[in-house]
Amino acid sequence: MRNFFQSLRTRVGVGMLMTVWSIAAAHAQTTQGTLVLTGADRRPATSLQGEWASIVDPYFSGLFSFHHEEKKNGWFLNYKAKPGDPFPTEYDYAKAPKLKVPGDWNTQRESLFFYEGPVWYEKDFSYQPKEHTRVFLHVGAANYHSWFWVNGKKVCEHEGGFTAFNCEVTSVIHGGDNFVVAAVDNTRREDNVPTLETDWWNYGGLTREVSLLEVPDSFIDQYDLHLERGTGSTIAGWVHVRDGASGATVEVEIPELGARSSAITDAEGRAAILFDVKGLERWSPESPKLYKVELRAGTDSIDELIGFRTVETRGNEILLNGKPVFLRGVSVHAEAPYRTGRAYSDKDAETLLGWAKDLGCNFVRLAHYPHAETMLRAADRLGLLVWSENPVYWALEFDNTKVLAKAEQQLDEEIDTSRNHAAIIFWSMANETPNTAARTQFIDTLASRARGLDGTRLITAALLVRADGNTKIVDDPLGKALDVIGVNEYIGWYEGHPESADGTQWDIRYNKPLIVSEFGADAKAGLHGGENERWTEEYQANVFRHQLPMLNKIPQLRGMSPWLLMDFRSPNRPLPGIQDEFNRKGLISDQGQKKAAFYVLQRAYKDGTIGKAD
């Protein structure tokens, strides 16, 4: 076990007595020196946001020599040239152009719009060390492969573009002036997760917040607090204290409920939490009640905001707080409204999820990768149930064990970072993967891993359907590994006409809840014409008018998340004057124009024609 890697994790919940000592943290070889922190955004932080100096380095000559050996100490590490140096220094961050962090580089500089490759970032900052205080560099996300140095010393490396990680810098940071250098490479490779083809723009860079977090010598790195299934009043979970002595006391308090519980850590630093509370108001879309929860261990403390609810299935029903629920949803990409580029801010989240609420949604499918904590906090606040997805998208190298390790690592990071969001009810393992034995084995492994890490939520994936004449058949063997089946279909767009839905039968070979996780059509906002004229708003609306009654006839239908809320950039969409590198299946354009189909779906969601369950 690699010492500065995140050690074994355990979870002991009374509801699910399941030691997961055996589930060692998965790390791709290309992820080193990183730690997953739950609730990092609830800790006091020194932000490193703003302008960073940048060097575009297409040949990665800042890291690899002319014989392609990795330079142990790299080159672009902010060395200040001195007169008389026996070697030339061929870069100077002080004179280098700037890039904003957080932010993708593609929408910040015309010349970087299509750029895929390495970019170097440098930021000077001052810091005053404190007694008994450890410092971590927190990175909300860096797409795709990133390396970090502080004061010229390498502190970590990370692969994966959509999950947060933290790197300890206590031993390399000092009083006064310091600097951090990052290399971020968004080159697409076969054995990446996701792999070469995606229907979204490969926005590169330090795409989410970067900051310095301070914690005491031993501190709470992860915790899980949830409402025990089958109860309305039992809080269960665990708290893990890193580098603390076993037998330490952990306290969890919910002041508003006058509830407090303490527990003792075991040899692994984990304390099992189980206590009853009175007067708990359960979280739901109708009343998204969040409680301030204080966690304390030694000199460390975290103030969290948590909603308590249960979710489970019963036959082909989805039960939220024990009651059947129908998921009136929409799919959402992390594309920033109006300015476009990778979404990251509270404002981006409020705008996107505000539109979903306008639509009459109680559910959003956050596609196809883990979204920012800002989005999940907003979903908790606004009362939107969430489908969160690991970027196992289309045709990965499913027979490559290194690729499995990368997918496991990203899944671990997703779950351990976001496990306390009441809004998240689904961990989605994949989207539209080919029906091969290697694929099924690969995702089976991920699904059981996810269940081992978190037994309080439902496991799903978006499957492809096959057709036999007018009958759509849902029998992908992967369905066996799932609690809830997601299916994508594009009747009326990639196949047939809007009316084709009228005569379509569905043959669902699983007695499980079904969610139609994608359907829709492209339309250019403001382009009008006949309802059978592709690319017009009328055509898109017509597709929805025929889809909804068809789907409503499916007995197992328990939800839907049409594709999708807002137009988003994709390199696969070059149609001039209509797509212009945007996928135009949004119900709203990237500039906020609501299309005719938005109102078709809104009416169906608001007048209850869709989803009579709740």
Integer-rounded Cα Rg, in Å, for the chain is 24
Phi–psi pair at 364, nearest 5 degrees: -135, 140
The sheet that has 145-150: what strands, in order across it? 98-101, 50-56, 118-127, 176-185, 145-150, 153-159
Min dist CB 411 to ligand GCU, Å, is: 19
Quick one: angle between helices 373-382 and 401-418, nearest 10? 50
Rounded-to-integer distance, Cα 356 and Cα 331, Å = 9
User: Kind of pairing, strands 484-488 and 458-464?
Assistant: parallel
CB of 497 to ligand GCU, least distance (A): 17
Does residue 583 touch ligand GCU according to CB under 6 A?
yes
Contacts within 8 Å (CB) and 24+ apart, 528-531:
531/498
Assess contact for 381 and 288: CB atoms under 8 A. yes
Secondary structure class of 41 (helix, strand, coil):
helix
- Report the residue number, 168 or 432, with the smaller CB distance to ligand GCU: 432
DSSP SS3 for 314? strand
Pairing of strands 118-127, 98-101: unpaired
Cβ nearer to ligand GCU, comparing 43 with 342: 342
Q: Is the dihedral of CA 512, 366, 481, 227 positive or negative?
A: negative
Count CA atoms within 13 Å of residue 500 on its CB side.
Answer: 16
x-marked contacts with ligand GCU along 245-264 as a string, rule CB under 6 A: --------------------
- Measured from the CB atom, the residue of 199 and 454 that comes closer to ligand GCU is 199
State in angstroms the smallest separation of the CB of 195 from ligand GCU. Answer: 13
Q: How many residues bind ligand GCU (CB under 6 A)?
A: 9
**Among residues 518 and 590, whose Cβ is nearest to ligand GCU?**
518
Helices (H), 476-582: 537-552
Cα 216 to Cα 126, 293, 300: the distances in Å are 20, 20, 6
Among 122, 168, 185, 199, binds ligand GCU (CB under 6 A): 199
User: Which residue number, 265 or 579, has a Cβ lying nearer to ligand GCU?
Assistant: 579
Nearest distance, CB of residue 582 and ligand GCU, angstroms: 11
Least spacing, CB of residue 556 vs ligand GCU, in Å: 20
Nearest approach in angstroms of CB 328 to ligand GCU is: 20
Tell me how far, at minimum, the Cβ of 392 lies from ligand GCU, in Å. Answer: 12
Q: Which of 85, 69, 106 is nearest to 206 (CA)?
A: 106
3-state DSSP call for residue 264?
strand
Of 269 and 586, CB closest to ligand GCU: 586
Site string for ligand GCU, 509-548 (x = CB under 6 A): ---------x------------------------------
Nearer to ligand GCU, 10 or 390 (CB): 390
User: Of the two residues 204 and 562, which places its CB atom closer to ligand GCU in the complex?
Assistant: 562
The torsion region of residue 160 among left (phi > 0), alpha (psi -120 to 50) and beta comes to left
Report residue 480 as tokens.
């066996």
- Min dist CB 432 to ligand GCU, Å, is 5
How long, in residues, is the chain?
614
The answer to whether residues 184 and 118 touch, using CB atoms and an 8 Å cutoff, is yes
**Residue in the block written with tokens 């076990």:** 1
Q: Which of 157, 432, 476, 483 binds ligand GCU (CB under 6 A)?
A: 432
Closer residue to ligand GCU (CB): 157 or 432: 432
CB of 106 to ligand GCU, least distance (A): 18
Q: Which is nearer to ligand GCU, 226 or 524 (CB)?
A: 524
Of 308 and 563, the one with the shorter C-beta distance to ligand GCU is: 563
What token pair was written down for 71?
């330079």
Q: Which of 585, 589, 590, 595 binds ligand GCU (CB under 6 A)?
A: 585
Measured from the CB of residue 194, what is the shortest distance to ligand GCU in angstroms?
10
In the complex, what is the shortest distance from the CB of residue 583 to ligand GCU, in angstroms, rounded to a whole number?
5
Residue 529: both structure tokens together: 């014409």
Nearer to ligand GCU, 40 or 514 (CB): 514
Q: What are the two backbone dihedrals, phi and then psi, of residue 379, each rounded to the nearest 5 degrees?
A: -65, -40
Looking up tokens 């988003």, which residue turns up?
Answer: 568
Distance CA 127, CA 46 (A): 9
CB of 482 to ligand GCU, least distance (A): 17
Chain residue whose CB lies nearest ligand GCU: 199
* Interface positions, 342-371, toward ligand GCU (CB under 6 A): 368
Selected from 284, 431, 440, 536, the binder of ligand GCU by CB under 6 A is 431
* Smaller CB separation from ligand GCU, 368 or 406: 368
Least distance to ligand GCU from the beta carbon of 293, Å?
36
Q: Is 346 exposed, middle or buried (0-12, 13-18, 19+ CB in 10 A)?
A: middle
Q: Which residues bind ligand GCU (CB under 6 A)?
A: 199, 368, 431-432, 488, 518, 563, 583, 585
